[in-house]
Amino acid sequence: MRKISIAIDGHSSTGKSTLARQLAESLGYVYIDSGAMYRAVALFALRNDLIDGSVNEAGLIEALRDMDVSFGLNSQTGRTEIHLNGENVEQEIRTIEVSSYVSEVAAIPEVREKLVKLQREMGRQKGVVMDGRDIGTVVLPEAELKLFMTAAPETRAARRYKELLDRGEDITYEEVLKNVRHRDHLDSNRAVSPLKQAEDAICLDNSDMGLKEQFERVRSFANRILNAKK
């Protein structure tokens, strides 16, 4: 069976990564979490004192040459996880502190240029599921299946809040909701590759949709395309 590329874009905390992992595992495809790559850059900036209230753009651009972002397979879980200069930082990039600077980091043209180049190299082969903010519009515009995921800000904040509490973070729902709305504004209004739905993408509002229903619906979209290619 011929393989396809699947691009999943959308707002923060809509479950893009969860759905992308499910699809990749179901189809036997490679999952690439582009959002984790930008989180890794934000973590890199924090660790190197390149953030003091806001991102030191000039300093970060200069330091990009010393930063390597890659994915490695976790032999215990069988999943690909993000590595920053050879270190597995899958957990470290999920904190609210990192989340607060991801959109700002992602708005820097030089950062996007470096990561988009890496993402295109990873997605050159078919059999890839990639999620992020500009996958269907910029990174993989030729993807056979494109999705744009959204949900009410309050719903997304509640999901994110639960995740952070389960992880042991000391955070309030109001702080998470503020962060979600702030990221929405930055993602949609940045000058370079703003968040927007590709013209040929399927919009999926999962405000009132369970994970099983969502997966089955999207898998049916993929099956339809795969069967049409036989």
> Which parts are annotated binding residues?
10-18
| Annotated binding-site positions for ATP | 10-18
CA distance 136 to 132: 9
For 172, counting Cβ atoms within 10 Å of its Cβ (0-12 exposed, 13-18 middle, 19+ buried), the class is exposed
Distances (CA, A) of 225 to 207, 210, 218, 219: 26, 23, 11, 10
- Residue 146's nearest CA partner among 15, 28, 16, 18 is 16
Residue carrying the six token digits 């934000």: 42
Start-end of H helices in the chain: 16-27, 34-47, 57-63, 96-106, 109-122, 153-166, 173-189, 211-228
CA distance 183 to 189: 10
Quote the DSSP letter at residue 92: G
| Cβ-contact 67, 84 below 8 angstroms | yes
